[in-house]
């Protein structure tokens, strides 16, 4: 499931091969990933040059001559350069020097056309860029559970289920702890561990749990360094207590019941 590090890895593998290239042709198969824009997309993309490839949270933005393409990988979306194998191609872009395929098994992703200057919905600050003090101050303003806040892209952009569980574990914060009840010291610790975690994951090429691969079809390596995600029942690497799993906003949530305590109410 692509989150910030996976999307960043994809963008890095795409950029050198896309910038400056002209889109010669595009073919699509009917899919909800186009949100009704399939006709417009096939009509508008050919002939335009790609000027920039950026990450905006978990979105990939391609800046063209007259438009911008916003790609979200959802759960199983991939951007692949031929000849990397593709099983569920939704869009195929013929470029001057490459063939790029947007593949998405479950179609939770999106491939949509935006006006040139737009980036889609306005999201919160990037998880890798937000300043520690700002992060702590924002948390203090909210009553919602910390896990929900970190997953909320309008609050903070880039974090997904896996890295949220890992970051909360590293900072020893219970996933259900309300934002304003996270002590400033722990909020700063969370900022530090989140940043380090994301950077290490990017350096490892992201986490490949099931489907994720970069644009060359390469899997990431960070899944081997997860401490709690997918580790229900395993001993906590720090204290040995059994890692627990619960559901928070419909997401499997993994944590150490001993290391990650709720603040005591008194």
Query: Which residues form the catalytic set?
Result: 2-3, 58, 251
Positive or negative: CA dihedral 109, 98, 53, 63: negative
Using CB under 7 A as the binding rule, whether residue 5 contacts DNA is answered as no
Give the whole-angstrom CA distance, residue 266 versus residue 86.
56
Using CB under 7 A as the binding rule, whether residue 85 contacts DNA is answered as no
Q: Where are the beta strands (DSSP E) in 116-205?
A: 125-126, 156-157
Give the whole-angstrom CA distance, residue 152 versus residue 249.
11
Q: Where are the beta strands (DSSP E) in the chain?
A: 23-28, 52-56, 59-63, 67-72, 77-81, 89-95, 99-104, 110-115, 125-126, 156-157, 244-248, 251-255
Give the whole-angstrom CA distance, residue 29 versus residue 155.
34
Using CB under 7 A as the binding rule, whether residue 78 contacts DNA is answered as no
Give the whole-angstrom CA distance, residue 261 versus residue 212.
32
Using CB under 7 A as the binding rule, whether residue 261 contacts DNA is answered as no
How many residues lie near DNA (CB under 7 A)? 32
List binders of DNA among 196-215 (CB under 7 A): 210
List binders of DNA among 123-162 (CB under 7 A): 142-145, 148, 151, 153, 160-162
Return phi, psi of residue 248, to 5°: -125, 125
Are the C-beta atoms of 161 and 1 separated by less than 8 Å? yes
Q: Minimum Å distance from CB 97 to DNA? A: 30
The neighbour count for residue 230, using CB atoms within 10 Å, is: 14
Tokens 């470029």 belong to which residue?
Answer: 95
Stretch that binds DNA, among 13-21, 38-46, 100-108, 198-206 (CB under 7 A): 100-108
Using CB under 7 A as the binding rule, whether residue 28 contacts DNA is answered as no
Work out the angle at residue 213's Cα, subtended by the Cα atoms of residues 210 and 215, and round it to the nearest 5 degrees. 160
Q: Name the residue nearer to DNA (CB basis): 31 or 95.
A: 31
When binding is defined by CB under 7 A, the residue of 134, 249, 261, 263 that contacts DNA is 249
Q: Minimum Å distance from CB 86 to DNA? A: 12
Using CB under 7 A as the binding rule, whether residue 88 contacts DNA is answered as yes
Q: Minimum Å distance from CB 58 to DNA? A: 4
Using CB under 7 A as the binding rule, whether residue 121 contacts DNA is answered as yes
Q: To 10 degrees, what angle do helices 184-203 and 132-140 make?
A: 130
Using CB under 7 A as the binding rule, whether residue 257 contacts DNA is answered as no
Q: Minimum Å distance from CB 248 to DNA? A: 7
Using CB under 7 A as the binding rule, whether residue 75 contacts DNA is answered as yes
Q: Name the residue nearer to DNA (CB basis): 105 or 188.
A: 105
Q: Which residues bind DNA (CB under 7 A)?
A: 1, 3, 32, 57-58, 72, 74-75, 88, 105-108, 121, 142-145, 148, 151, 153, 160-162, 178-179, 210, 248-252
């Amino acid at each position: 499931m692509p989150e910030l590090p996976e999307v960043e890895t994809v963008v890095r593998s795409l950029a050198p091969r896309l910038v400056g290239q002209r889109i010669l042709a595009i073919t699509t198969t009917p899919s909800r990933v186009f949100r009704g824009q399939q006709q417009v997309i096939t009509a508008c993309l050919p002939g335009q040059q790609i000027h920039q490839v950026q990450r905006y949270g978990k979105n990939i933005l391609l800046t063209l001559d007259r438009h911008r393409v916003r790609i979200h990988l959802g759960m199983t979306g991939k951007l692949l350069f031929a000849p990397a194998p593709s099983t569920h191609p939704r869009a195929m872009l013929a470029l001057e020097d490459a063939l790029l395929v947007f593949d998405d098994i479950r179609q939770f992703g999106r491939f949509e056309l935006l006006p040139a200057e737009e980036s889609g919905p306005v999201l919160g600050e990037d998880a890798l860029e937000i300043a520690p003090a700002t992060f702590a101050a924002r948390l203090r303003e909210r009553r919602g559970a910390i896990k929900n806040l970190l997953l909320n892209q309008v609050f903070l952009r880039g974090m997904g289920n896996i890295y949220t569980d890992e970051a909360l574990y590293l900072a020893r914060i219970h996933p259900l702890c309300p934002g304003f009840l996270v002590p400033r010291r722990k909020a700063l610790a969370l900022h530090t561990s989140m940043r380090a975690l994301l950077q290490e994951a990017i350096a490892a090429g992201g986490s490949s749990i099931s489907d994720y691969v970069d644009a060359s079809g390469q899997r990431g390596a960070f899944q081997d360094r997860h401490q709690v995600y997918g580790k229900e029942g395993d001993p906590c690497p720090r204290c040995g207590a059994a890692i627990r799993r619960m559901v928070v906003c419909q997401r499997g949530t993994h944590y150490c019941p001993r290391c990650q305590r709720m603040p005591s109410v008194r």
